[in-house]
Chains A and B, each alone.
Chain A
Amino acid sequence: MNYAIETKDLTRTFKAKKAKKESPSVITALDLVNITVQSGELFGLLGPNGAGKTTLIKILSTLLSPTSGTALVDGLDVSHQAHEVRKRINMVSGGEHSGYGILNVQENLWMFSQFYGVDNDLAFKRIDEMLEVLGLAEFRKTRIGKLSTGMRQKMNLIRGFVTDPKILFLDEPTLGLDVQISRDVRKYVKNWVKSNSEKTLLLTTHYMAEADELCDRVAIIDQGKVVACDTPANLKRLLKQEAVFHIDVNLTTEKLDRFSGIGGVKNFAFEHKPHVGKTELKFILESDSVISQVTDALETDGTKIISLSKTEPSLEDVFVALVGKGLENES
């Protein structure tokens, strides 16, 4: 079977410079990495700084040679069929400053489209459409040197999409962007993959929520090794943690053991908080549908529900469990 992306025992080492007369030490950026990405998939690479994510993207995008192993993109070897691979791909990195400040947004995007042989009419049509969707239409004629970081990143994103690649690599596309712009970018990325079943997108990110929201499957990579690879839902199941329903009610002192007897309640706990006039109830249920029986029981008692929420194990919990640290507390 031809995968959109396939790596077999992919390894990349770098020689680290040391003081004169000392032999250089070898750093292993990727260590026998094996991943497969299906066509039409939005695949995420999640890992801390220095984990090897960008190295992997650079190899797949023909910018870096593997030390050993193979990397195939659309069935083509990146080392020996680089030119053919390049016809099928594009890449956008977070925080990149590509383009020429002296040219405006439209001219820069047109220029990059020319490197892929896109006809002028088609290039301008795509550029106009994407500028509109990403809210940059009014900046079409603005020199890119005058754009904000967020606008620049949106432009970079358009640069990646304007050549209509079969496989797109996005390296930290929302790095340093504000909430609203990150949301716009994520929405655009998601829609692109959904509306083009033949397109494949490989995304690296620091942001767990981003990977959780966007990716069909996620590979967690640490110190050059893939430590887990599955759908976000399956990765969460690895933790063997169950979803917890939190219900705040206006009871303050009563004994609440009766809730344990409701069919489908696997576990129940409560904590009175008289100083704030409420009690916190925690339920672990056999299925989500049981929650309606719980709320019915509360209403029958005349108990007022103040709030109801569900907590599931997050991708971050999975990451911490597998890697032994969170992304935020890297040393």
Chain B
Amino acid sequence: MNPELKTNLKAIWGRAYVRIFGANREPSWVISETILPVLSVAAYVYVYRALNPDPLYTSLVILGGAMSAYWMNILWSMAMQFYWEKEMGNLDLYMIAPISRMSILLGMASGGFFFATLRAVAIFVLGIVLFQAEFVISNVWQLFLLFFLSMFALYGMGMLFSSVFMLFGRGAWQFSTIFQEPIYLLGGFYYPVKTLGAAVAAIGSLLPITLGLDGMRQLTLKSGKTLGFLSVQTEILLLVVLSIAFLLAAYYSLIFMEKLAKKEGRLSLRWQ
């Protein structure tokens, strides 16, 4: 194997290891990552049940709650990661290593994806058990494609954020705080995004999770087609475009930000 490729693959695995094996060592994760998220999902389930007894909406909320695990992972972990690494003193060490910075981000993304999946699966399974949510998969392959394309695009966006936050230090924290709630609104986590109207839903669709979730609902809920904003095929196509765009943007942004940070001396400056 090409030595450069081998080193970068090792780097991806090395960085992912922290999340995959390390993050589950604190027993408290069972509560914070499984039980607590189910509580917030439960609140929406009871709201729908009080207003509309159609079980479709219970399933809709469960799916949205499960997918929100990935968004939270992007916003608070993936995007912020280089900022945290800078504070911890790890960023210097990543930057002097003979690897592509994308490998570090891919390692973070794959570790983060693994950890978020635990949370998503927990919400999904507990939702089915506690609220008898029903899912009927109409096309497994499209569902599989839609989910993974959503993840590629979403983690590509996280990598782009990460490269930007590398430079902006504590501003990154404010950014994540400001964007958390509006994106909950635009993402349609707990209602069909088409409810927002075509124009706002189109803006929301710049977020890969919005398109992914909309398509997944169409493919897994009994009368899901009636909830869809765009056709599943269109959403798959748009997610391909977003995946490529975000990954390329992350790559070039990382190069640009690193050069700028080295020029301005902000690569290893903590507490800015």
Residues of A within 8 A of B (CB): 14, 58, 61-65, 83, 86-87, 89-91, 93, 96-100, 102-103, 107, 110-118, 159
Q: Which residues of A contact B26 (CB under 8 A)?
A: 102
Using A64-B262, A65-B262, A117-B10 as known contacts, say yes or no to A100 and B95 having CB atoms under 8 A apart.
no
Using A64-B267, A99-B90 as known contacts, say yes or no to A110 and B96 having CB atoms under 8 A apart.
no
Task: Judge if B23 is at the interface, Cβ distance under 8 Å.
Answer: yes
Q: Which residues of A contact B259 (CB under 8 A)?
A: 65
- 19 A-B residue pairs with Cβ-Cβ distance under 8 Å, sorted by A, are A61-B96, A63-B92, A63-B262, A64-B267, A65-B259, A65-B262, A86-B97, A91-B93, A91-B96, A97-B88, A98-B88, A98-B92, A102-B18, A103-B17, A111-B17, A115-B7, A117-B7, A117-B10, A117-B11
Q: Which residues of A contact B97 (CB under 8 A)?
A: 86, 115-116
Task: Judge if B194 is at the interface, Cβ distance under 8 Å.
Answer: no
Task: Judge if B99 is at the interface, Cβ distance under 8 Å.
Answer: yes
Query: Does B268 contact A116, Cβ atoms closer than 8 Å?
Result: no
Query: Does A103 contact B96, Cβ atoms closer than 8 Å?
Result: no
Question: Which range contains the number of B residues in contact with the other chain?
Answer: 20 to 34
Residues of B within 8 A of A (CB): 3, 6-7, 10-11, 13-15, 17-18, 21-23, 25-26, 88-90, 92-99, 104, 259, 262-263, 265, 267-268
Query: Does B23 contact A102, Cβ atoms closer than 8 Å?
Result: yes
Q: Which residues of A contact B104 (CB under 8 A)?
A: 115
Using A58-B268, A61-B96, A115-B99 as known contacts, say yes or no to A97 and B18 having CB atoms under 8 A apart.
no
Which listed residue, A107, A113, A115, touches B94 by the CB 8 Å rule? A115
Using A112-B93, A117-B3 as known contacts, say yes or no to A87 and B98 having CB atoms under 8 A apart.
yes
- Expressed in whole angstroms, the minimum distance between the Cβ of B201 and any Cβ of chain A is 40
- Expressed in whole angstroms, the minimum distance between the Cβ of B144 and any Cβ of chain A is 30
A241–B98 Cα distance when bound, in Å, is 48
A87–B3 Cα distance when bound, in Å, is 12
Q: Which residues of B contact A118 (CB under 8 A)?
A: 10
Q: Which of B10, B13, B26, B263 has the largest number of chain A CB atoms within 10 A?
A: B10
